[in-house]
Amino acid sequence: MLKLHHVSNTRSGRIVWLLEELGLSYDLNVLEFHPKALKSDEHRARHPLGRVPVLEDGDVRLYESGAIIEYVLSRHGGAALKPPVESAEYPGYLQWFHYCEGMVMPPINTIVVQTKILSPERRSEEVLGQAQRLLSKALGPIEEALERRDYLAGNFSAADIQLGHAIFMSGRLGCVGPEMTNIGAYITRIEARPAFQTAIAA
């Protein structure tokens, strides 16, 4: 059985969402967001940096969320969540899948560090403001792409799990303005999916 090592409100939520969308059986090991759990010798044996997600599938162990998604799609019947290579939607699927970590997550990481992880005396309003502006710019092309379409690559796909999770987190961080009406509607659609609700509650 698949085993996922998970911390709430992190990238590992994407993997819970994916597994739920596919209806796969899995064992969920929920860890605390605390060095005692994540930096333990036990967890460092799973992930050398003491982070999540980590997916175990027999002798296979993976710890990059994008790689985990691709692996699960390829080995566990996820064809419905990925457009065929020859389809018109495939290039867009690839772009938005990778846009997540390339453009959206770097400023999100900085915002989280500056608002939640660092102690107040170590935070920088300048660094925070710059990250918020970068995230707003990164969301711009997504707002445009969602004009007259419900999902990023035609039908709901793994690109919506990878990038959609980051867009949802952007909203939680207060970085999706009221002018981003397409993204706002997209978040509402994502939140209505039962598999997403299970992932957020995990």
C-alpha closest to that of 23 among 190, 200, 198, 167: 198
Residues 125, 185 share a domain: yes
152's CB contacts (< 8 A; 6+ apart) are 92, 93, 96, 142, 145, 146, 159, 160, 163, 164
Q: What is the CATH number of the domain that holds 54?
A: 3.40.30.10
The answer to the question of residue 199 being in a domain is no
Residues 110, 184 share a domain: yes
Residues 98, 11 share a domain: no
What's the CA gap between 122 and 107, in Å, rounded?
18
Residues 97, 67 share a domain: no
What's the CA gap between 88 and 80, in Å, rounded?
15
pLDDT at residue 188 above 90? Answer: yes
Kind and range of the H or E element at 150? none
Number of domains in the chain: 2
Q: Give the pair of three-digit tokens for residue 32.
A: 């605390």
What mean pLDDT do residues 82-95 have? 97
Residues 126, 155 share a domain: yes
Residues 55, 139 share a domain: no
Q: What is the CATH number of the domain that holds 97?
A: 1.20.1050.10
Supply the range of the domain harboring residue 61.
2-81
Handedness of CA 196, 17, 47, 167 (dihedral sign): negative
Residues 154, 186 share a domain: yes
Residue 34: pLDDT band with limits 50, 70, 90? confident
Residues 142, 120 share a domain: yes
Residue 184: pLDDT band with limits 50, 70, 90? very high
Residues 34, 129 share a domain: no
The answer to the question of residue 163 being in a domain is yes
Angle of the 90-99 helix axis to the 65-75 helix axis, nearest 10: 150
Owner of token pair 């994407």: 14
Residues 112, 69 share a domain: no
Predicted confidence at residue 187, as pLDDT, reads 98
User: What confidence tens digit (pLDDT) does each residue in 124-137 have?
Assistant: 999 999 999 999 99
Using DSSP's 3-state secondary structure scheme, residue 200 falls into helix
Residue 36: pLDDT band with limits 50, 70, 90? confident
User: What confidence tens digit (pLDDT) does each residue in 17-29 have?
Assistant: 999 999 999 999 9
The answer to the question of residue 202 being in a domain is no
Higher-pLDDT residue of 119, 37: 119
